[in-house]
Amino acid sequence: MFSRELVKQIKARMREKRRFIQIVSGPRQTGKTTAITQALKGLAFPQSFVSADEPLSSREWLSNVWEQARLLQKQRGKDTILVIDEVQKIPQWSSVVKQLWDEDTRRKIPLKVILSGSSALLLQKGLAESLMGRFEILYSPHWSYAECRKAFGYSFGDFLFFGGYPGAAAFKTDEERWARYIGTSIVEPTISQDVLLMEEVRKPALLRSLFHLGAAYSAQELSYTKIMGQLLDAGNTVTLAHYLTLLDNANILCGLRNFSPKRLQVRQSSPRFMVYDTSLLTYASGTGRAALLANPEAKGHLAESAVGAYLLARGREEGFDVFYWRERDKEVDFVVQKGSKISALEVKSGRVRKTGGSLEFKKKYPQALGFVIGSQEFPLEDFLLGKIGLFG
């Protein structure tokens, strides 16, 4: 069975002295539970794995399973691991975990705890409410091209179209079934069970429409005025910006901002839509693989979206921000910034476009490194395989 880097990270954290609760978080259907299960098989500690995805799970249930893990630790006399999956489904789970974790800390009980759940938004809310300073996050991103190629035998075209959801790989020979899986197992649960249950959304239909529009227009810049013109009952720009933030927090769609040292200008810029996985673009477009990959313009946006999704995943792990840049008719596809380090990336994807953006950007920011992804020096596949550094 294929093992992700996340499995090694979980093992390493569990072998350390008890310090923090480990939170395994990330988009839906990226294999969080599988990674935890694989990691546990390689650890010799006593273990208790429970799931809150049960009808009787409650605050009392959570306290009981924690007490059972304490009893196991006392019986074995060594460090013990407690895993609680789908913890976000327990009402006020974070306050219970805080109380129990702090009790163990005071009593010096070596119970190591892993929490995970399908809703990244609900996990984040609980962490912010009660557990500040008590946890570390292990992120489970969408699967990379390197992982999909090794685990599922994906070609580059396969990865561009089908993206990085491991459960969808079984349907790559049946595009209609694949599309149903993405819609019913990824998109709709993310919107209905994550966003709509957590936030007060006055116009759920508008939020869904914004996702479908933004995903179909991934790697393209649209002003909020243009977005409002495309959507019925669009309300105002504040509402649209808020809904886009919710979709961003749910790890399915974001709006990249125009790079500027002046943060106010960054916030006010028109968003460039970017999916977190290319499958969301191909699903929203409704175009078959053969037709999509044969269209230079569409394939170009798909390639740029693959680069953008890859940068967003790396940025989460490595601590850098992702932007685009445009001034009048000059533009750069991506700008990444980590502290004082800046790199500008153009994606050479085959579609017809204006050039000269990188040169203009370099004039304004001479300290920036420049990359043309898709050139002979920086092949697109090599970049997505993680063979090219970003900051020198």
Handedness of CA 313, 321, 284, 371 (dihedral sign): negative
d(CA 201, CA 379): 42
User: Is the distance from CB of 280 to CB of 252 less than 8 angstroms?
Assistant: yes
pTM of the model: 0.92
pLDDT tens figures, 47-61? 999 999 877 779 999
d(CA 323, CA 336): 6
CB-count burial class (<10 Å; 0-12, 13-18, 19+) for 185: middle
Q: How large is the average pLDDT for residues 170-181?
A: 97
Q: Which CATH class is domain 5-139?
A: alpha beta
- pLDDT for residue 192: 92
d(CA 188, CA 13): 33
Question: Considering only CA atoms, which of 275, 246, 247, 250 is closest in space to residue 164?
Answer: 275
pLDDT tens figures, 208-253? 999 999 999 999 998 888 888 888 777 788 889 999 999 998 999 9
- pLDDT for residue 162: 98
Q: How large is the average pLDDT for residues 347-374?
A: 84
Q: How large is the average pLDDT for residues 197-207?
A: 85
Which residues neighbour 229 within 8 Å (Cβ) at sequence distance 6 or greater?
A: none
Q: What percent of the chain has pLDDT over 90?
A: 77
d(CA 335, CA 117): 32
Q: How large is the average pLDDT for residues 304-329?
A: 94
Handedness of CA 236, 242, 243, 247 (dihedral sign): positive
User: Is the distance from CB of 308 to CB of 219 less than 8 angstroms?
Assistant: yes
- pLDDT for residue 117: 87
Domain spans of the chain, in order of start: 5-139, 145-384
Which residues neighbour 193 within 8 Å (Cβ) at sequence distance 6 or greater?
A: 118, 119
Q: What percent of the chain has pLDDT over 70?
A: 97
Beta-carbon neighbour count of residue 46 at 10 Å?
A: 17
Q: How far is CA 247 from the centre of its chain?
A: 11
d(CA 290, CA 158): 11
Q: Which residue has the tokens 């702090």?
A: 102
- Categorize the per-residue pLDDT at 328 as very low, low, confident or very high, splitting at 50, 70 and 90: confident
DSSP-derived letter for residue 171 is: G
- pLDDT for residue 149: 97
d(CA 299, CA 294): 7
